[in-house]
Structure 1
Amino acid sequence: MKKIIFAVLLCLPILLLAVDQVTIYNDNFALVRTSLEIKLEKGLQSYLMDDIPSTIEARSVILKPLNGKIEVYSQNYEFDLAGTSQILYKYIGKEVEIITKTDQVFLGELQFNDFNTIGILNINSNKLSLIQYSEIRNINLAELPDNFFLKPTLNWQLNAPKTAKYNIDFSYLCSGMKWDVTYNSVWDETAGELEINSWVTINNETGKAFKDTKLKLIAGDVSKKQIYARGGRSNEVMYSMDAMSAKSPEFDEKAFHDFHMYTLSENVSLNNKQTKQLRLFPTKSVKAKSKYTYQTYSQDVMSKIEFVNSKKDGLGLPLPKGVVKIYKLDSDDDQLEFIGEDDIDHTATDEKVILTTGTAFDLVAKTTVLNSRKITNKVNEKDYSVELKNRSKKSKEIIITHNVNGNWTISNENIPFEKKSAYEIEFSKILKPGEEFKLTWTERISY
C-alpha cells in the first residue's frame, strides 16, 4: 500500500512556494490572497490544493496565472473528509475484517454501522454478527474508498503549455476570521483628559494557520450575504500579544472606498485557534468632560464622559467600532480602578463620542405629572415637574431630556429649554453640592 501511495504522489504537480496576504473584516470573514509557485507538467493534469481553511467559500475562489498561458478547466471543492463513520458508510456491502479485544476475528460483508454496533454477515456461515464498538480492537479494510481527503481540498484541472514553474495568484473568502478593538482609557476628571490606548484583537477560527503574512484590516460595515461554512474540529484557543517588544509594529491607516483600511507595518503569523492582540495606535490624551443625563420617566441619572474625536482636542483618528474600558486613578493609593465600559460605533474624525460609565449614585431625579387636562377632543395639556437633587460634594450639571409627540407647545417653564428635534426637548440645570431643584413646565399636545 505504501508503494502505491508514493507513486501517486510523484504524479502530482509540485508546490514550490506559497505566500499569504490576509485582509480581515469586522463581520467574521477575511479575504486571503496567496502567491503560488508550482511546477506543472505539459498537458492536462489535476492539482490538489489542501493548504486552505476549512471555512473557505469555494464560490469565491479566483485563480489567476501570472506567467504562461495556463488554462483552468474546472475546480472541485472536496470536503468529504476521511473519518471512521464516513469510511465505514462507503464500505456497506463490501468485505471487512474485525478483530476484537479477545482476538476473535470476524470476516464478512458489512451490513450496517451505527454509533454503538457494527453488523457483519459472515462469508462462510451467512450468519449476521452484531459487534459492539467497545469490544473492537481493529477494523481492517482492503483500501481507502475513492474520493476521500484528509483535509478540505480544492481539485483543479489545469492545462499547461509546457513543463515549467508557474506563478499563480490564488484568492478566496473564508469565514471564521474577525477583528475588533478594545480601547483602554484612564479618566482624569480634574484635568479634563481621557488617556486612550487601543488594542486590535484578532481571532482565527478558520482551520488554517497563516505564517509570516501581510495583514490588513478593514473597518466599516461591508455588505455581504451570510454563508454557512463547514467548520473544522474545535480545539483549545491560544492567546498571543504581539505588541510588547521594544519597537511594536504599527498600523498605517488610510481611507479605502467608503471604509478605512489599516495595514500592519510588519508581517505577522496568525495561528489557527489563536487570539492575537496588536496595538492599533499609540496612547493619546484627548480633552473630555463629564456629563450627567436624565430621561424623564426613567429611574436613574446616567454618568457619561464626552469628547470630540478631533485633532485639536488630541485625537482626530478614525475610530473602528469596539469597546471602551474606562479606569480612574484612586489618589489615596495611586491604583487604577475600573469605572465602566461602553460600546462605540465606527466614528469618523471630528465626531462626538459619548461614553456611559453607569448611574450617578449621588444624583437623584424623579418625574411627576402634576395635572392632566382635556381642552378639546383634539387638545390635551399636562403639567410636569422633575425633582432634581445633588447629594454629592461637587457642583454637577444635569441634562434633562423629554420626548414629545404630535403638535406640541411648551409654556410656563421655569428654566429655558432647547428644541433638539421635532420629538425631543432638553433642559439643563447646574446643581450646587446639596442643592435641590424642581423643574416645571406645561405641555400642550394637539392632534
Structure 2
Amino acid sequence: MKKKRLLLFILTCLFFVNGMKDINAQTSTSFIEIKGKILDDASNDALIFADIIIKDTNISTITNSDGEFALKIPDSLAAKSVTFSHLGYQKKEMKISELNTNTKIKLLPAITELNIVEIKTFKDAETLLRETLKNRSNAYNNDNALMTAFYRETIKKRRKNASLSEAVVQIHKQPYSNFKNDAIELIKSRKSTDYTRLDTLAVKLQGGPFSNLYTDIIKYPEYIFTDEAIALYEFRFGESTQINNKPVYVINFNQKPGIIEPLYYGKLYIDSETLALTNAVFRLNVENKELSSEMYIRKKPRKVDVYPTEATYRVNYRTQNGKWHYAYSNILLTFKVNWKGKLFNSVYTLNSEMAITDWRINNPKLVKNKENMLKPTTILADETSGFKDPAFWGEYNIIEPEKSIEAAIEKIKKQLKRT
C-alpha cells in the first residue's frame, strides 16, 4: 500500500558553525503576563498539554511537559476571565485579576460514563470514526482563518540539547469543507545549535511547521486514515471521558495481525454531541526496523545505519462559536545512529510542537507575503541564523520552555559571555 507519511528526515554532514545572539526577551508594557502551573487536584501531578484560553477571545496557550504556562494578555482584556481545561478534567474559570506570576491551578478529575444506548447508536467503533471523518464540514470551521502560531523544535543527543529552533508563523488555514492545502508564512525565527554535540552528523527535520500541521487528521486524513488504510486497522471502544465538561467517546485502534507494514496505534477522542475529533494520541509501530527506517530516512551517509525507536504524535482541537479547529500538535521521535566500525551508537531525540495562540476569520482575498511563505520541504533550521530581535518575542505568546531547555539557553548565554 502506497501511503503519504507524516514526516521525512534527512541526515547530512555539517561543516559550518553558527553565530548566536543574546536571547533576552522584552515584554511590552502594553501586555499583562501571567504564569503558573496546572495540577491534578488529588495527586498534585503536573497536567501536560492543558489549554489556557482568555474567555470570549481566540488568545490561548498550552502547558509544557512540566505543567507550566505563560500567557501574555493585552491590557485591554484585563477585565476578562481565563479558562483552564484538560482532557478528563472539569473546566475551571478564573478572573485575570486573581492570577499572578506564580499561580497554581488545580483541576478536578471528571468521571463520566456514556450511556450504553448512546454507544449502540453506532454499530462499532470503526463506524463512529468514519462518521467523524465525514462530519468535518459540519463540526469544523468552514471559513478561511489566519492563525498565529508558535513553533518549537529541539534535537537532543542522548539527554543533552544539541539544537533549539523557534518561530512565530501565520497559518493560512483553509476551510475544513474543502481539500485545499494550508499555507504557512514565517514571521520570525531564531535558533541555537551546539554542533560539537552533533559530532559530524545532524538530523534535520524536513518540513518544520508543516510536519506538525499535517497531524491535523481531520484536514489531512490521507496521512493516516485513508479508506484503504482504515481496512488495515482494528477499532474498539475504550472507557469514555470528558473534555470541557462534555462526554467524549474513546476509540482504541491498532493494526490488524499479519500486517507487515508499520502502521499506527493509539487513541481517538470524539465529542459525543458534535461527533468531532477533539484529541488524538498515537504512535508508529517501529518493530520492523528496516521498513520503519524507510519511512523517515531519505538520505544518509553510506557507513551509517539509522532507524527509529520511537515515534509519538499528538493533536488537540478547540471549539469556538460552536466550531472546532486545529489547536496544538506535538511530535516526538527517537533515532538510533550506528556508525559502522564504531563501538558505541548515538541516540537522537527530535521533538517539535506547534500551538495556535490567536486566530481570526480571514478575508480569502488577502494577499500573502510570498517571500515569507514556507515550502513543505523547508528545513526550519536552515531558515534561522541565530537569535535575533529579542524585543519582538515579548509581544507573542510562546509555549513555556521546559526546565531542560531553559538550562541549555542559560548555558549558551554563559558561553557567549566568556567568548
- TM-score, normalized by length of structure 2? 0.17
- TM-score, normalized by length of structure 1? 0.16
Higher helix share: 2
Q: Higher relative contact order at CA 8 Å, sep ≥6: structure 1 or structure 2?
A: 2
Higher strand share: 1
